[in-house]
Structure 1
Amino acid sequence: MSDIQYQQLTPDHFDRLLALANHVHGDNYLDMPSLQKLYNAGLKNDLNASWVALDDDRLVGFRLTLAAGNWQPDKWCSPSLWPVPRQEVCYFKCNTVDASYRAAGIGSKMLKLSVGEAAKQGAKAGLAHIWMASPGNSAFKYFSKCGGKLVKEHPGKWQENCINDGYVCPVCGTECDCVAAEMILQFEQANG
């Protein structure tokens, strides 16, 4: 593995990002219109909170982060349980690393980069819905190690995506009942 380069997400990365996202997370996890919307939501005050990891020209990881104030909590969110006001919380949509590049610190590096930009945008914390069915529950372990705290568990969070968007979960297929762990990461804990 050569030296990994980190860049802020641009539309030039979209095709490669979609291929990796749908390979890792399942068919129809993202499409071009949803990616464009997520990208736009990551921009605030001329700053970009989303990142990609590249090995030469190969996109091997990405972190999609929506700026505080640029996303709306839904029924899978518990703002009354968060330690900071919701308008000061960014949203970590996903952190994805190609299987052959995992355990090399790429996900943690992209999270740190996103936290840095989101803080400059005005966020004091970031929320994520962690996929509890990840292999070895690695997503929960990773986010906890980075300082994330469990807020609440939400069974069946991605079922609506199966019904409405044709999402195919790599574990459950088209009837996803995977549990999402709503987790929050306060930035002073992440940087401390």
Structure 2
Amino acid sequence: MAQVAKQDKKAKETKVEEIEETVMEETTAEESATEEQTADETETLKEKNKELEDKLLRQMAEFDNFRKRTLKEKEEIGAVAKTKCISELLPVVDNFERALQAECGDADFKKGVEMIFTSLKDTLGKMGVEEIEAEGQAFDPELHYAVSRIEDETLGENIVANVLQKGYKMGEKVIRHAMVAVANP
């Protein structure tokens, strides 16, 4: 009996050791699975983070392009509006020039008209409006609009002989071409 009890005890100890080994193996397997799952989750999170960073960079670039495009459009609209306004004022300038050329018996009235005209010209000058030099210059279709031809031996070929209506430009943009008579075309 003592021997049977020893064998039972040894069998129980062996069984306990087997159970402990199984539990250890299962724990190790679970830990490995958890580590793999954590590694997979980490990799997934890294990929997601990279996608979000890429999306953010694209959104920032898109917004920057939108801002630049909007600013450019705003400047273009401002320039067009300024040009349109000035082109509407040019007939007023022409009328002032005609008024100053007309005979006037009242010197004070004429001086007042001259002052208004000077003020208007100064204001246009501050806005960057310049008169196009035409008379005596070579004909330039970019600046001049030829409405007649004149034969004049004292002038060279394709020289502006007479300005019928002044032209104006703002920077390099022509607001109104000068109407001219061209000599010896």
Q: Tell me, yes or no, whether TM beats 0.5.
A: no
Higher-helix-fraction structure: 2
TM-score range, shorter chain: under 0.3
Higher-strand-fraction structure: 1
Specify the structure having the higher radius of gyration (Cα).
Answer: 2
Instruction: State TM-score, norm by structure 1.
Output: 0.22
